Amino acid sequence: MIRLEDVWRTYTVGESEVDALKGVSLEIARGEHLALIGPSGSGKSTMLHIVGCLDRPTRGRYLLEGREVGSLSEDERSHLRRHRIGFVFQFFHLLPRLSALGNVELPMLFAGTPAGERRERAAAALDAVGLAPRAAHRPDQLSGGERQRVAIARAVVMDPAVLLADEPTGNLDRASALEVMSLLEGMNRRGLTLVVVTHDPAIAERARRVVRMSDGEIQGTGDRGPGTGNDPGLPGARCPDPEPRDRG
């Protein structure tokens, strides 16, 4: 469903050029749960942005559901982001002036969904993450875990094909992190393709496949078979912690 073929991403920083991705090839199947790990600067966020159609490869091909994304217009990419891709961020990125419900309605606002249907679907999405009673609260009245669950409801309210989570637990305490992860995994079990960028080994542990990145390249892929998502206490010791500090 997601297919990267020899993808390069080069930034120009001042006079010099920096390769954030150096010929990455990766295939992600429908319904997969994949963890991208690696030190900061290893290129995992860049890869997530390319997969999420927020960024374009400098070279190489990226196919989403069989369509070459690099050749699409900006509007078509917006359309893909709106309908096929859900984002979850480390810092939640909820709009502080809107209620939880208003934040979940946001993607539908730009899709032109009528107000009544919007409210209904947003309420259902909030209910699915267990936050129906908090619908009227603004983000500053919610805990970190609750905020991330609102963000997840927002990410899935358009019923996307793939959910991209960039350090979704990076700003949460352990208990909230587990809560958020089991929520995501539950959605994954119901068919949603899930890609999680993390450098928390315990989180990566839970994925069915772990792709380790370093310095813009894929270092290794560990297929772990069926996920261990229902085992929250597991220490993630075996996952190699990223050390190399050699960034471009």
Partner 1 sequence: MRLLDLLGFAAGALRGHRLRTTLSVAGVAVGIAAVVALTALGEGARAYVVDQFAALGSNLLIVLPGKVETTGAAPFGGVTHDLTLDDYRAIARLPRVRRSAPMAVATDSVRYRDRGRDVPVLGTTADFADVRRLEVGSGAFLSAGDPEEGGNEIVLGVTVANELFRGESPLGQVVRVGPWRFRVVGVLAPRGQSLSFNIDDVVFVPVRTAMRVFNRSSLFRILVDVRMRDELALAKRDVEGLMRERHRADDVTVITQDALIAAFSSILRVLTLALVGIASVSLAVAGVGIMNVMLVSVTERRAEIGLLKALGARDRQVLAAFLAEAVLLALTGGVAGLAIGAAAIRVFVGIYPSFPASPPAWAVAAALGVSLAVGVGFGVWPARRATRLDPVAALARR
Strand partners, 222: 210
CB of residue 230 vs partner 1: minimum separation in angstroms?
A: 30
Question: Judged by CB under 8 A, does residue 175 bind partner 1?
Answer: no
Site string for partner 1, 107-136 (x = CB under 8 A): x-xxxx-xx---------------------
Footprint of partner 1 on 177-206 (CB under 8 A): none
Distance CA 147, CA 152 (A): 9
Which of residues 75 and 223 has its CB atom nearest to partner 1 in the complex?
75
CB of residue 203 vs partner 1: minimum separation in angstroms?
A: 20
Distance CA 129, CA 185 (A): 12
With a CB cutoff of 8 Å and minimum separation 6, the contacts of 229 are 33, 181, 182, 185, 189, 206
H or E element, residue 204: helix 201-205
In the chain, the N- to C-terminal Cα span, in Å, equals 30
Which of residues 118 and 209 has its CB atom nearest to partner 1 in the complex?
118
CB of residue 225 vs partner 1: minimum separation in angstroms?
A: 32
Of 36, 44, 47, 49, which one interacts with partner 1 (CB under 8 A)?
49
Which of residues 137 and 224 has its CB atom nearest to partner 1 in the complex?
137
Stretch touching partner 1 by CB under 8 A, among 64-72, 82-90, 129-137, 198-206: 82-90
Question: Judged by CB under 8 A, does residue 67 bind partner 1?
Answer: no
CB of residue 42 vs partner 1: minimum separation in angstroms?
A: 15
Of 33, 147, 154, 209, which one interacts with partner 1 (CB under 8 A)?
154
Distance CA 2, CA 108 (A): 24
If DSSP codes are grouped into helix, strand and coil, which group holds residue 7? Answer: strand
Q: Which of 240, 237, 148, 205 is nearest to 33 (CA)?
A: 205
Q: Which of 40, 31, 154 is nearest to 89 (CA)?
A: 154
Q: Which of 119, 122, 22, 6 is nearest to 70 (CA)?
A: 6
Which of residues 158 and 204 has its CB atom nearest to partner 1 in the complex?
158
* Token pair for 72: 């699409």
Of 40, 71, 78, 143, which one interacts with partner 1 (CB under 8 A)?
78
Residue ranges binding partner 1 (CB under 8 A): 49, 52, 54-55, 74-75, 78-83, 85, 87, 89, 91, 93, 95-98, 102, 106-107, 109-112, 114-115, 154, 158
